[in-house]
Amino acid sequence: MKSIPVSELMTVDVISINRDLQVDDAIRVMRDNQVRRLPVVDLTKRVIGIITLDQAIHSLPKEDPRSLFPSLDSDIPAVREVMTDYVYTVEPEESIARAAQLMMVHKFGGVPVVKDRKLVGIITESDIFRFIIQEYADDE
């Protein structure tokens, strides 16, 4: 199989968030945009973390059904408290095989794509599956 660079499959209109955003707002962003992970960036667009929908949901305070008072906003953590702050990344010129290998070995579904340490895209397992389906559909 030929070597395909990540840049050919990555999503370039990446939705990212700030680490000071509350987790419930991050969940809203993910659901509104139908994504399962968000890169967390600083003001210069440098990737400083990543948060998944599962991480976010599991970090919310659990409601006690006997409670008369719902959780307060102050009970909801900020993204910085929940995000993974060690993020594997790939560069646009790297192969999709390298991105897929990172995802498989570390058991995650997407990798931010960076150029000069700045976020320029994201490649997900869905992008790779879509490519494989197209390749095999062309052969039939």
As a whole-number percent, the residues of the chain with pLDDT over 90 amount to: 79
What is the token pair recorded at 50? Answer: 């990543």
Residues 8, 31 contacting (CB under 8 angstroms): no
Instruction: Let me know if residue 124 belongs to a domain.
Output: yes
CA-to-CA distance for 88 and 106, rounded, in angstroms? 9
Please report the pLDDT score of residue 69 as a whole number. 52
- Overall average pLDDT of the 36-41 stretch: 97
The reply to whether 23 falls in a domain is yes
Domain coverage including residue 119? 6-139
78 inside domain: yes
pLDDT for 64 equals 53
When divided into structural domains, the chain yields a total of 1
Q: What is the pLDDT of residue 70?
A: 53
- Compare 140 and 18 and report the one with higher pLDDT: 18
44-86 pLDDT, tens per residue?
A: 999 999 999 999 999 998 765 554 555 555 589 999 999 999 9
45-65 burial code (b ≥16 CB/10 A, e <16): eebbbbbbeebbeebbeeeee
Give the domain CATH number at 21.
3.10.580.10
